[in-house]
Each structure stands twice: as C-alpha cells, then as structure tokens.
Amino acid sequence: MNKQSPQALPARTARNGGQILIDQLIIQGVKRVFLVPGESYLPCIDALYDHQDKIQPIVCRQESGAGYMAEAQGKLTGEPGICFVTRGPGATNASIAVHTAYQDSTPMILFVGQVGNDFYEREAFQEVDYRRMFGQMTKWVAQIDRTERIPEFIARAFAVATSGRPGPVVLALPEDTLWGKATVADVPRYRRAHSAPTPDAVASLAELIEQAERPFLLLGGSGWTPAASRQMEGFAERFALPVGVAWRRLECFDNHHPNFAGHVGWAMPESLRKRVQESDLLIAVGTRMGEATSEGYTVVESPLPRQRLVHVYPDANELGRVFHPTLPIAADVVSFAAAVAELSPSRSPGARNAGHDAHQVYLAEQEPKAAPGALNLNVAACHVRDNVPQDTCITVGAGNYALYPHAYYRFKGVGTSLAPTVGSMGYGLPAAIAAKLENPDRTVICYAGDGCFQMNLQELGVAMQYRVGIVVLVFNNGIWGTIRAHQEREFPGRTVALGFDNPEFSELIRAYRGYGEIVASDEAFGPAFARALAFANTQQLPALLELRYDADGIAPGMTLSQIRSDALARQAGAK
C-alpha cells in the first residue's frame, strides 16, 4: 500500500527554484515545452538539461510562435500546453497566444521571467506587472514570490487551466525565486474535476427532443475526446438529429457521418443558416455560440433565442450570460456525452429524417464552385480532401483563404483541425509544427494566406531544426483579402493600403532546406501537391506550394468585383 500522503510527495534535498519547477512539470506529465530562451529564467533552462529524456524543449524563433505552438498542443491533447518566455518584450509577444487560448477555451500555461523582488516596483529593466497586463485574458495570473511555494502554484495552475471552461494561466517567475533554494515536498499530479448533468436534466432533455419537430444539435468548444464524439454520434442517430459544428470547431464531429449538416457560422450556406434559424429546439453542447457561430447574434438571437435552447456548458457562469436557455445544463462535453450515451427515444422519431436530409444538402454544397483565373482554389481544396489520409490534421490562421478547407474538407474527428476561433493571424504554421511534433506519423497540412504566413514564417526554422515534415499551402494574392472584401462592401472602389509585394515564397522555403514550387493552374496543382507530400514524408522537412491565383476570387463562390457591384447598387438605391 502506498502510505504517502495524497497531498504531498516526500520532501527532497534542497533544490533551486528552476529545478523545483521543472520537477513539477515532469510530475504533471509534461513531455514538451515551447520556449524562446531568456536570461530571466536561466535556472529553468539549466534544469531542463538534466531531464532531456523526459521533457523535449522546442526552441522557437519568436514568442508568438512559441505561444501558438503551446496553445495548439493544448487543443490537441486536452492537457495544458507549456510555454516559457522572458520578461517584458517576450511576454508581450506571447500575449496573442494567451488571448487565443482564452477565447478558444484552451488549457495553456505561460511562464514568464520576472525581475527579482528586490527590484520590483522600480520599473526595472523589462519590468511589467503581469497581473494587470494579463488579468482580463486569463483564468488566473499570479507571481510566485517564494521558492518553497512553487509546487503549490504549479499544481494549482494545472487544475485551473483544465477545470470548468478550460483556459490559460500565466505565472510570473521572479529571478530570486528561481535562484533561491528550498527543501520542499512535491505535489502529486493534478486530477481534472468533471461536471456532469443531473438525471432530471437528462430526462428534461429527452422530453424536449420528443416534443420538437425540427431539433438541431450544435457541437463546439474544447475538451472533446474520440469516445465522447462517438457517443454523440450514437445520440444523434437514435434521435435522428442533424448535427452542426460551431465556428472553427470542425473536429468535434465526424464530417463523414450521415447526420452531419455542416459548419455553423460566418459564410455558412443559406440552407444551413435557414435550418438552424427555423429549428424549434437547439441543443448546444460545449459551445458558447459566440458572435461568429451565431453570425452576429442573428441566427441565434440574444438574449432570447427564437428556438428553445438547451445549453450544455462546463462553466455555469456562461449559462444565461448571453443566451437565455430553456434548459441550462452545467456539464463538460465528456460527462454529457457519457450521460446521453444510453438515452433513447420512447418512440421512434417516425418520418423525421432530418439528419440524413441535412447531410445530403451538405454533400451537395461540397461540389467545387466556379472561380476566375487558371487556378480554382475550390478545386484545389477538393483535391487535398480527396488525396490525404482521413486522420490528416489541417491548420489555418485567419483570412478568407481559410474558408476553402473549411468549406470542402471533411474532418474526421478530434485532432484533425487546428483553427483559432478568435481569428488570430500567424497561427497556422506554428500550429502545424505542434501537430506534427505531437503526432509525427500523421499528415499535417497548413493553409496560410500570404499575409498570415508572413506573421510567423520565421518558425520554419523550428520545422527545419526538428525535422518536421509539414506541407504549407500559401495563398498568394498580394492583398489583405478579408479586409479588402470588407472595404469593397462598405466603401466600394476606394481601395487603399490593402496591397503588398511578396517575396517568392517557393525560393524562401529553400533557405530552410525545404521544398518549394509555384502553382498557377488547376492542372499543375495535383502533381505539385503529390511532390510536396512526398518530400515532407521522406525528408521530414517542410514543403511549400505558392498558389498564385486571380485575387478577384476572394472566397468560395464570391468575387471582389461582385461585392463591389452589389455595394454600388445599394448606394445608388439609397440615394
């Protein structure tokens, strides 16, 4: 029998703060950390030297890239992604990833070097008050001022990052805390707390479904597991429910499933928009149904949705905050899926076959649309879909180019999509690197706009250094496309400050020992994509295809010239 206290492991001999901290990460199960080294946390870097067999340090080129990789790791595993950055500029660079983790509900812990307590509150070199800086974009931000309290803070950070609505934690590490020594007990590995629905809530849910004529199941949020996804598939089948996924949460449900209705949010097809709007019961599981998913709170209105709303969410504080639910259920997705796994209708859904009908409409929408120019991005996206393994991971950042994989690719389930719901640019490449490091045997494809890619292209150095064989598709149209579309919609014909000259990306990738090609036609795409995949798989180095296309084709089924024409017509009609 283990006679150790459940609250603490035996105290060790004296260790410095860096050694204590890294020992805690090992106990918490951390196998990889992303960092940009800094003198402010040197004892932590030194402690990693003794544990290279347990923790892999990934040396990144810029803190936003390191933070994005940690956030992506958290998305993939459900365990906090770990990032170390230095004080001041390092922390500010990493803040974009913290904000992403907050809005995306991703477990993540950012460790930031800090000036010593003896210099604190003097605006010392690179000093920042991190409680004030990160206060509104984290679940918890703290500073560890005493060496002996490091185990306590680390254990709490893991618990906070994963409990309720997951999210980021930031811990500041003063230099004297890390250099100081203490004889202190370690704290055991955290255990995640789960919130589960009550039997009465499950019974009420079943009653509401049987009363409904047009129910719709909407899945989103974080924390999904393959088992939970399979349980939700069975639930949808038994009750004949059409299933949609929330904005950029395409991995929550198998897109091949005969009940899958599509991606709910900005740019969704009118048929899907109408199906959600006209549903008489909306069962939202794991998703906050934010601005993007609800299309500006119109498809699902706030505060009183036109649909009866069952809202299932792990944080009770979110229930009723934006949407008033008919039935609020405080439960995480894993516990909810388990609770409904054995739930069956008391009578057959009868003639209602909405799930299968919705899937047929979804498949019809996946036929590639026409586009101007020699290279049709709709056709290219369909080619990728049909020529990679089903467990491929697709990553994107932000921009209209991301609509192509999200419109045409059929995501298989957990781990097949990494996309920031917050819409942060520069995410796709770091996320792809994290995905390949976590699952080296999987194919990983990064979709990146020419502007989005250049925000973190320096992380190609990480792909080169650690032999990460990913394929990057760079959509080169020489404009800030999403903003150009908005500009044409609101101020047609008054284009300014939206275009830029690009380097030759196919040459740039060669500087990182990778493979590059320019693709400018439908006929060239397929063979080029096969060559890029083969290079990435055999050489374990990045491959890049630079897609040059007519900038007028701004999004699936949409052109800038048509947006401008429609806007001018509206202006003329308003006069």
5 has pLDDT over 60:
no
357 plus 373 within the same structural domain: no
Name the amino acid, one letter, at 130. Answer: Y
Q: How far is CA 82 from CA 47, 75, 120, 321, 499, in A?
A: 15, 12, 25, 30, 36
The DSSP code for 252 is G
Residue 7 lies inside a defined structural domain of this protein: no
The structure tokens listed for 49 are: 């030297």
In this structure, the answer to whether residues 174 and 236 fall within a common structural domain is no
Number of folded domains in the chain? 3
551 close to 375: Cβ distance less than 8 angstroms: no
Q: Which of 364, 379, 403 is the last residue of a domain?
A: 364
Mean pLDDT of 373-383: 97
pLDDT band of residue 125 (cuts 50, 70, 90) is low
Burial degree of 175 (CB within 10 A; 0-12, 13-18, 19+): buried
Are residues 356 and 397 located together in one domain of the fold? no
List pLDDT tens digits, range 182-225.
999 999 999 998 999 999 999 999 999 999 999 999 999 999 99
**Whether residues 394 and 500 fall in one domain:** yes
- Quick check: is 194 in a domain? no
For residue range 316-338, list pLDDT tens digits in order.
999 999 999 999 999 999 999 99
Does residue 3 carry a pLDDT above 50?
no
Q: Which of 197, 166, 203, 209 lies closest to 329, judged by CA?
A: 197
Residue 289 sits in a domain whose CATH number is 3.40.50.1220
Domain boundary among 364, 384, 412: 364
Tell me, yes or no, whether 359 and 409 share the same domain: no
Instruction: Give the residue-averaged pLDDT of 89-108.
Output: 96
Copy the structure tokens of residue 206: 């079943």
pLDDT in tens, 234-288: 999 999 999 999 999 999 999 999 999 999 999 999 999 999 999 999 999 999 9
* Confidence category of residue 56, pLDDT binned at 50, 70, 90: very high
Look at residue 9 and tell me if it is in a domain. Answer: no
> Do 250 and 330 reside in the same domain of the chain?
yes
Q: What is the DSSP code string of 469-524?
A: --EEEEEE-SB-HHHHHHHHHHSTT---S-B-----HHHHGGGGT-EEEEE-SHHH
Distance CA(526)–CA(380), nearest Å, equals: 8
CATH assignment of the domain containing 108:
3.40.50.970
Same-domain pairing of 254 and 161: no
State which of 364, 398, 424 marks the end of a domain: 364
Is 418 inside a domain boundary?
A: yes
Mean pLDDT across the chain, nearest whole number?
94
Asked if residue 243 and residue 162 are part of one domain, the reply reads no
Domain of residue 556 covers 366-569
Q: What integer pLDDT is reported at residue 356 of this predicted model?
A: 84
pLDDT of 1: 35
Residue-level pLDDT at 572: 87
Residues 432 and 565 in one domain: yes
DSSP, res 225: -
- Give the tokens for residue 321: 């905050």
For residue 8, pLDDT beyond 90: no
Identify the pLDDT of residue 7: 59
Range of weakest confidence among 149-153, 321-325, 348-352, 396-400: 348-352
DSSP-derived secondary structure for 42-110: HHHHHHHHTTTTT-EEEE-SSHHHHHHHHHHHHHHHSSPEEEEE-STHHHHHHHHHHHHHHHTT--EEE
Q: Is residue 59 part of a domain?
A: yes
Question: What proportions of the chain, in percent to the nearest 5, are helix, strand and coil?
Answer: 40, 15, 40
Indicate the helix (H) or strand (E) that contains 394: strand 393-395
**Inside any domain, residue 192:** no
> Are 445 and 430 found together in one domain?
yes
Q: What is the mean pLDDT of residues 443-456?
A: 97
pLDDT at 127 (0 to 100) = 66
**Could you read off the pLDDT of 380-394 as tens digits, one per residue?**
999 999 999 999 999
Cβ 47 vs Cβ 22: under 8 Å? yes
Does this model's pTM top 0.75?
yes
Q: Which of the four pLDDT bands, split at 50, 70 and 90, describes residue 129?
A: confident
> Is residue 525 one of the residues assigned to a domain?
yes
Residues 23 and 141 in one domain: yes
Q: Would you state the pLDDT for residue 346?
A: 83
The residues facing 285 across adjacent strands are 219, 312
224/324 same-domain check? yes
Alpha-carbon span 155 to 29, nearest angstrom:
11
Q: Which two tokens stand for residue 437?
A: 């490091």
Quick check: is 3 in a domain? no
